[in-house]
Every structure is written in C-alpha cells, then in structure tokens.
Structure 1
Amino acid sequence: MNGQLMLEDGDRSRSTPAPPAEVAPVRREATPAAVFPAPLTTVSAAATGGLIGLGAVYGVAARLADTLVGVAVLVLVFALTMAGPRVHSVARSEVGRTIAVILEAIAFGGVLGAVIVLF
C-alpha cells in the first residue's frame, strides 16, 4: 500500500501541469441601485415621514412617557423604520421607493422629536 502511494505521488510530481484552458468571460448581472423617486415625490415623502416620526416621538413622550405602552410604541416606530433601507434596496417601482423614503424619514423625524423633547 505504501509503495503504491509513493508511486502515485511520484507520478504527480513528475507530470507537467496542463496548460490553462481558454476561459470564457463571465457575465455578471449588475446589482440594482437604490434610486430615489421623482424629486417632488421624494421631498413630499420625506416631509410626511419626518412629520410622522416627529409626531410619534413627541406625542408619545408628552402623553405616555411613564408607561410601558409609550416605550412599546417608540420601539415599534423605530423597528418599523429599520426596514426602510431594505425596502429601498429591493424597490422596483415608484411607489416602493416612496414608501422606503417615508420609512427612512420617520426615523429622522423621530430623532428630531427626541432632540426637541430632550431640550
């Protein structure tokens, strides 16, 4: 058995490597880019989302600050907005991109509302 292995190893070390085969170029599909919707739609979606986020955080902080429901609402708002970039990356229509911008703007408005409450 050992003699066979040595002979096989010796054959491999003495053999010349095969020339590389002709490789055809690989065609790669481009990944879709995140594109904003039309400019006016983007502005209105960002403003709407910002106001929703500002209202949600400021309203919860003003009315339900000491309750567990208030904390749950804030966590729910920000968990929902975490989907914004994912929705934006897979959106294939104007409506999908608009929804993604609204989700992302809700997070921004929520942070703005938190800063207003803080000061």
Structure 2
Amino acid sequence: MSPYSGGGKQNCCASLPVKWHPGLTVVVEWVKDPDPHAYVNWPPLGTDGYRAAYKLHAAKYTRHRAVVPVARYEELGLVNVHFLPCNQVAVSAGATYPGRPDYPFHFPQKMQEPATCPES
C-alpha cells in the first residue's frame, strides 16, 4: 500500500480474543519500499529493462517487525494497523474506526518522516 492509503495488496491474520485484556499484543511484520513511486521512470512493463529495474529497486526494500500493544476495545471488530513515522506502529481492534471520537488514536492525516528518528 502506498503512504496515506488504506487497505493494501496483502492483509492477513490477526487472531484476537473477544475480550481485551491488559498486556494484549500482536506481532506486525512489514516490508517498506524506500521509494514507492520510482517505477514511473522505469522502462515499459514486461520488458527486460523493467525486470532489471525492479530487481535493483526491490533489493533496497527493508523488512521490519514490531510487537505492538493492542488498544483497549469493548467489542472485537475491525483490526486497524497504523504505520507511523520512524517505523512505529499502532494497532486497534474494536467496533469503532478512524475519525470517530471513540477511536483510540487521533493521528494527523499525513505525518511526515522526520530527518532523523529517535533511537529505539
């Protein structure tokens, strides 16, 4: 998925209890493309040049993994994973959704990556 978008090419599994409890966490793994719009300058799709450009580009992907607390929920519902600057992640799993006052997170719509990220 591209920055500031929803959904994505691959969504998978979150097995969560019906009732939230303190200490509930999930493991989030993702691959990050450092330049998601680079393809606009590549040779035509389906050509050897395109395949070579893709191979060079994909070698720059970074892989990430985080163990993330799940925000408190009263009723199990949609799982929302927010990918934030500096490879931070926030997860909710309730019957509410972004934009509602009862949603646990109220992040700005578009957050820019800072020039440097704090050490974890």
- TM-score class normalised by the smaller sequence: under 0.3
The structure richer in strand per residue is 2
